[in-house]
Structures are given as structure tokens and as C-alpha cells.
Amino acid sequence: MVRLGLTGGIGAGKSEVARLFTAYGAVLIDSDRIAREVVEPGTRGLAAVVAEFGPGVLTADGALDRPKLGGIVFGDQERLRALNGIVHPLVRARSAELEAGAQPDAIVVHDVPLLVENGMASLYDLVLVVDASAETRLDRLVRTRGMAPEEARSRMAAQAERAERLAVADFVIDNDGPLEELEPQVSEVWRQLGERAAAGHRSD
């Protein structure tokens, strides 16, 4: 098994790279999706969030009011640490369960947006960073996600610096260009991962 940590700044195109890996046959473990699942109604994760932040973070139907919670933790490091202290252990546990269910020769791709920010690079065999310039990312966030430029810049500024991501990368995929330039790069990384997975499986 090869465990790849996949990350990139917001707007870099990480989700498209994850989609391509899945199409090639990777086992994708999406940290953002799991983070939503572990605080769904009826979960102990949601109960812990309510105990920490109060029932005001719930919608009328008992689901987590994400914008309301985001307004509480954004810009408040102490409150954000409290939230992460609840959610991150649950995400790690669920990710470990999913990984344990993969085949011995599998390529397991952990899609982790805040891999660098949370100091998680050492948890994976290899790290792949999807890279794009700040100008490209800003354009994508405004044009394809409909963000206001000020919101996009704020979201980008809240993440790690580009150099910090590149410093932990074993692979870097340049996604400044069009989609047709992306797939050959992902395919080449996939080939190398496949060789590593096969070699590791043979030596087990």
C-alpha cells in the first residue's frame, strides 16, 4: 500500500486531481467529506460541538449551522483549536478505518486541504502538492465559485504560504494551465505510485 497525502491551496485544482486519481483506481479518502459526516445529526461529534459552542450553532432542524459556527471560529484561534480538537480526532479515526479496508497493494489518496497547516505531512508515505499561482487561484475562485474578490483573498490568506506547501512536497503538479495539461502530469505520478505499490507488495 502507498499512502499519498494530496493537498493544495484553495483554487489550485486539487479536487480535479483527486477525481483523476479515483478514475485511475485510487482509494480516495476525502477529509472534508469525512469532517462533514462526523458532525451529522445524531453523531457524537455533533453532540460534542454543541456542548462546546452551545445550541445556537444548530439549525432549526437540528443540523450543524456551518456559517454560524464559521463566524464564531474564524479569526479566533482559541475557538478554532477547540473545534479542531473535536473534529480532527474523529476524522483521523474514520480515515484509518477506510484505509484499513483497502487492498494491500492499493494506492490510497488522502485528500487533505489543510495538510500543511496542521503539520500532517509525516503521516503519509508521500505528499503531492497541486500548485497554481495566486493570480490563477484568485481568478478561479471568483469566476468558477462566484466568490467576491475580497472573500477569495481572505480565504487564500488564511492558508499556508505557497512556499510552505512546496517544502513538504514529494510531487508537485503545476495546474496554472488548462485542463488538458493537467492529466498527463497526474498520469505520470500515478505510474510512479503504481510502481512503488507493486514493489512494496512484493516485498511484504
Strands 126-131 and 27-30: unpaired
pTM value is 0.87
Amino acid sitting at position 139: D
Q: What is the pLDDT of residue 186?
A: 97
> pLDDT per residue over 88-136, tens digit each?
999 999 999 999 999 988 999 999 998 999 899 999 999 999 999 999 9
> pLDDT per residue over 125-146, tens digit each?
999 999 999 999 999 999 989 9
> pLDDT per residue over 14-44, tens digit each?
999 999 999 999 999 999 999 999 999 999 9
For the record, the C-alpha cell of 143 comes out as 469566476
> pLDDT per residue over 184-195, tens digit each?
999 999 999 999
Amino acid sitting at position 24: Y
Domains delineated in the chain: 1-26+106-204 (3.40.50.300), 31-103 (3.40.50.300)
Which residue shows C-alpha cell 464564531?
Answer: 72
